[in-house]
Amino acid sequence: MTDTQTRLRAVAAVPLSESLCQLIEHLEPRVEMIRDHSLTHPMRGPADWSGDPEHVRTVQQQAAFEAMVDSADALFGIPDVDPAALARTVDANPGLRWVMTTAAGGGSQIQAAGLDSAALDRIVFTTSAGVHAGPLAEFAVLGVLAGAKDLPRLQADQAGKRWSERWEMRQVDEMTVLVVGLGGIGAECARRFKALGATVWGTTRSGEPVDGVDRLVPLDDLVTAAGQVDAIVVALPGTAQTHHLIGPEVFAALRPGVIFASVGRGTAVDEGALLEALDDGRVAYAAMDVFEVEPLPSGSALWNHPRVLVSPHTAALSSKEEERIARRFAENAARLLDGLPLRAAVDTVEFY
């Protein structure tokens, strides 16, 4: 092997703490983490990879930042989480071999960079997919439990100081839960619902078995399956193929009272069709962490709907997220150096 094949020059193209830079070097000693904390925009909170927009580099600092990222074999993050900056450095740096996005859905950022086929063939792109799975699965469980226990009714009675007659709540262990999308997030959702005693179905393109899933549902059978379940959890990526996949046909097939949770990408759900299903009772409750347009426009009827829980795309946020992504980077760096396939590699046809 040449020296460049036995070591990896990796540049932190987004704010990454010194302790995590050192962690990566400790976990994979063949990686040299190049960083200059004065050149990346400071974080305003956990996992704020794009950093403070009020922080502006001087002309000299911008030149130094670009020189740093252009020297990389590998990038930790898309520079400034800006597709245009990625396109610039890909063009300027023929030695770039690998880019890891800090977003689980980083494929859309790569697509937005408009890279040519030669660049897409030359560089391996990976995402942090799966790193956020646990927190998002917890939100999905929260949503289904809130619907099963009729949280809006409990809150309304408490606010009105009403001690109502006792009424029967629904039990998760008597439910069939359909997880749409069995990637990292969906697989973790399946595992947790199975642990709660639910019967778990999941859609699949590959047909490969997934732990905790009692029945694999081909995507062609999605509408039929949707009409047979008690709850639906959407954990789909945002691609052209998944856009509005959960639309009028799916919602029309539902039995009354289905509980709905969305934790993948908001573009997979037709929000107009969801609102119609909420209004006519086919959907009893919806817990949403992601939306078609973010921030959710103030005019959206989802804000004020009495049976919708709105979370501002925050369910995955965790103080541990940065460390989990750093560990993923170190693991994939080792795989790259050892000639092994990288985890969460982006399909540069569908950008997923």
Q: Which two tokens stand for residue 68?
A: 């740093």
The answer to whether residue 294 is catalytic is yes
Q: Which residue has the tokens 């949503």?
A: 143
Closest CA to 95 of 78, 64, 114, 74: 74
CA distance linking residue 179 with residue 160, whole number of Å: 36
Token pair listed for 302: 């989802």
How many whole angstroms separate alpha carbon 130 and alpha carbon 332?
A: 13
121: number of Cβ within 10 Å: 10
C-beta atoms surrounding 342 within 10 Å: 18
Q: State the catalytic residue, choosing from 18, 32, 174, 294.
A: 294
Strand partners of residue 216: 202
Q: What distance in Å separates the CA atoms of residue 352 and residue 176, rounded to the nearest whole number?
A: 28
CB 69 within 8 A of CB 89: yes
Buried b (16+ CB within 10 A) or exposed e, 36-75: eeebbbebeeebbbbbeeeeebeeeeeeebbebbbebbbb
- Among 302, 280, 175, 275, residue whose Cα is nearest residue 233: 175
265 annotated active-site:
yes
- The DSSP string of 158-207 is HHTT--PPP-PPP-GGG-EEEEE--SHHHHHHHHHHHHTT-EEEEEESS-
Residue in 9, 30, 170, 313 annotated catalytic: 313
Give 240's Cβ-side CA count (13 Å radius): 6
Asked about 41 being catalytic, the answer comes back as no
Active-site choice (265, 282, 305, 328): 265
Nearest to 262 by CA among 278, 282, 246: 246
Upper half-sphere CA count for residue 131 (Cβ side, 13 Å): 28
- Is 98 strand, coil or helix? strand
User: Which residues are tagged catalytic?
Assistant: 265, 294, 313
